[in-house]
Amino acid sequence: MTENDPALRYTLEAVRSFRDGEIATAPRRELNDMARQIAQQYRGDGMSSNMVSGLLRIAEFLLLCAVGLGIRAVYVGKGPWLAWEYPAVIVSGSLLAVAFLNIAEAYQFRILSRPLQNIARLGLAWIAALGALATMGFLLKWSEDFSRVWFGSWFLGGFTAILLVRVIVSHFVKRWVRNGVIERRAVIVGGGPAAEMLIRSIEAQPYNDIRICGIFDDRDDRRSPPIVAGYPKLGTINELLEFARIAHIDMLIVSLPLTAESRVLTLLKKLWILPVDIRLSAHTHNLHFRPRSYSFIGQVPMLDIFDKPINDWDSVAKRIFDIVFSLFGIILFSPIMIATAIAIKLDSKGPILFRQKRHGFNNEEIEVLKFRSMYSEQCDPTAKQAVTKNDPRVTRVGRFIRKTSIDELPQFFNALLGSLSLVGPRPHAVSAQSHDTLFYEVVDGYFARHRVKPGVTGWAQISGWRGEIDSSDKIRMRTEYDLDYIENWSIWFDLKILFLTPIRLLRSENAY
């Protein structure tokens, strides 16, 4: 079977067509005692190797700049040592060094773990960076303005600094891997001989950061043994959904042949709603793909089916975005929030704020803050009865703040503290219903909207799908827009939604 094989093409296209709506939703099932006990051991979040390599890029850039400026400060030639020419060259050379180290794959986990075995790789990248800098200086005819002694000293000092930092980092990386600080938590989907071969192959890779947490398979013990390569079978695929949520699983590795097309698709239709990387093991497949078609765990090839959305540095950027704009929003709208609090207190008895349990990231329950808009004795924390036009439960102040979305302003504090994002799929109450049917029973793939943090505002809300949900079509459209947001997320997309929100909400006719 080759990459151009029609059957293979059809399989991969079918797998990726889930986002177009042909999705199955698996009910959540309770875990057995052993699976729950193992899941509880992994409740804390670890640090990914991508985050470590990203921080090292920043650290090495700053270190090379410091070495270059430090040598220049000691060896003072003509003119002031902080004249713009030297800092400009040092910054350029340091950026080139990080770029060439990246090209040389020097930030990959296996290289970080063995710096002394990769001295040649590090040296060639540093030589290439300064060589490119020197060539540029020669062509632009400004190389004669710089000290050769300084340049040579920076070459030796910079390489020594890189090597020293790498040795220190490798020491911590190995310790963090042993202690579980750096790890990618993986579950094997599918058992039997294929799973055993896959596990043995992964464990044979030195310095890999994969921690296998167990095996899940729908087949009985005759076809899928309860213990494979020392790892227990913890339950069925439906139980895996709950296990992955509790244990904060990072990756699912499906150990099934592509020829088992119908079974692969059935599994993936259930699993894609999880906020994890989903990989299809290719180590036993007789395929002839181009190298860039694979990702690798060590030398074990994988086919990428789905990636965890808004991961690693994207999540850092989004969190910074949330903190900055949440603080700005709190300061900007504080007079309105104070006035609203006073109005609520004068209008009716009860607390100013209303707290409601809603679905958050990875389907976990979170508590969302709102200004109280109903009479306190008639508040509905479960949201089983949707608010309708002229609803008698809503107070006079409540009608105004719901219409203008002022009741949502306390959620800036949720975003600042991290349970919400400023932009994302709007969180729904855990018992929210449409015509006495729970939302996740109405929409296939509903829980896929929880692969990212929910938001104070969202793509669906500014696109006209805000307010009362009085039909199945409305919740379907909301989910469709939420999934579109997840697939196409960027900081610029968040900015667009954030700045369009006040404009679009003023035109809203569906909020009561």
User: What is the per-residue pLDDT across 420-465, written as a single tens digit (0 to 9) for each?
Assistant: 999 999 887 776 655 555 566 556 667 788 889 999 998 988 887 7
**382 and 429 in contact (C-beta within 8 Å)?**
yes
Helices 148-179 and 85-103: crossing angle, nearest 10°?
40
Between 411 and 297, residue with greater pLDDT: 411
DSSP codes joined into one string, 125-176: HHHHHHHHHHHHHHHHT-GGGS-HHHHHHHHHHHHHHHHHHHHHHHHHHHHH
Q: Which residues of 465-478 are buried (b: 16+ CB within 10 A; e: fewer)?
A: bbbebeeeebbbbb
**380 and 374 in contact (C-beta within 8 Å)?**
yes
23: confidence class by pLDDT, cuts 50, 70, 90: very low
Average model confidence (pLDDT) across the chain: 80
- Give the model's pLDDT for residue 263: 80
pLDDT beyond 60 at 1:
no
**249 and 276 in contact (C-beta within 8 Å)?**
yes
Cα separation, 47 vs 228, whole angstroms: 28
Q: Which residue do the tokens 């086919």 mark?
A: 303
Between 324 and 22, residue with greater pLDDT: 324
**135 and 93 in contact (C-beta within 8 Å)?**
no
333: confidence class by pLDDT, cuts 50, 70, 90: very high
Cα separation, 22 vs 366, whole angstroms: 29
Give the mean pLDDT of 166-189: 86
Between 282 and 195, residue with greater pLDDT: 195
User: What is the per-residue pLDDT across 455-498, written as a single tens digit (0 to 9) for each?
Assistant: 999 898 888 777 666 567 777 888 888 888 998 999 999 999 99
4: confidence class by pLDDT, cuts 50, 70, 90: very low
